Homo-oligomer: A and B are copies of this chain.
Amino acid sequence: MAIKTVLALSGGLDSATLLYSLHQQGDELYCVNFSYGSKHNAREREQAARLARPLGLSYQEVDLDFFTALIRSHLLKSGGEIPRAGYDKETMAQTVVPGRNGIFMSILAGYAESIGADRIAIANHAGDHFLYPDCRPEWVSAMGLAILLGSEQRVGLHAPFSHLKKSEICRLGSELQVPFAETWSCYVGGETHCGACGTCGDRQHAFKEAGIHDPTIYADYS
């Protein structure tokens, strides 16, 4: 019997690769895209839908309007400008969204228990650890235990990229024929990827390091 998995599908490169990986492994997938008031949510959502629908998967869009009222981050429409190029950890930390993955995983856990799913899945990776506490392996362990103990059906938390670099995810995605052009990273959320924000830099670097063609159109390629 197939493993029934609820996946947080942002529409980014990492969750797209996890989508293809679990789909190829034969999981019965339930995709959820969260809109939480970030500047790039509309772009992400467009891509998430384009990724899930051709595979014929269950795909739901969930709006979390409370983020902009309660949570402070420059990533949100309620926050300051996205920092561009040449910044340090302190500046980059402005784009951290406090509590985000805990909130996402908790919602998915409730949904998983409601539909009798075996596990929930997230595509956090090693490149995120430096900046985002809720992507680190120790957080995944503790959160996974909390979700397991907080559900009668023992819902699991699956985070198979926790120890992979983004370039390794690129390589895996390339093998799995993930349509990278259909994924969105840029925090600014314009017509094309800006090419200058932190996550555009990470995306460019990952493709280069993996030695894989980057099909992304950047407004400003550094």
A contact residues vs B (CB 8 Å cutoff): 32, 60, 62-67, 69-73, 93, 96-103, 105-107, 109-111, 113-115, 133-134, 136, 138-139, 142-143, 145-152
Contacts and interface: CB of A to CB of B under 8 A. Distances in A.
Contact of A103 (B97, B110, B134, B151): B110
A66 B61 CA distance: 10
Nearest to A64: B66
Contacts of A110: 67, 70-71, 97-100, 102-103
A122 to B, nearest CB: 12
Contact of A150 (B71, B72, B139): B139
Nearest to A131: B152
Contacts of A32: 70
Contacts of A100: 110
Nearest to A32: B70
B146 A114 contact: no
B62 A66 contact: yes
Copies of the protein in its oligomer: 2
Q: Is the interface of A mostly helix, strand, loop or mixed?
A: helix
Nearest to A96: B152
Of A63, A97, A151, chain B has the most CB atoms within 10 Å of the CB of A151
17 contacts: A62-B70, A63-B66, A70-B110, A71-B110, A99-B113, A99-B150, A100-B110, A102-B109, A102-B147, A133-B149, A133-B150, A134-B150, A134-B151, A142-B146, A142-B148, A143-B150, A145-B145
Contacts of A107: 66, 70, 99, 103
Contacts of A105: 106
A150 B102 contact: yes
A115 B103 CA distance: 17
Contacts of A150: 99, 101-102, 133-134, 139, 142-143
B70 A114 contact: yes
A41 to B, nearest CB: 15
Nearest to A34: B66
A63 B161 CA distance: 33
Contact of A65 (B63, B101, B103): B63
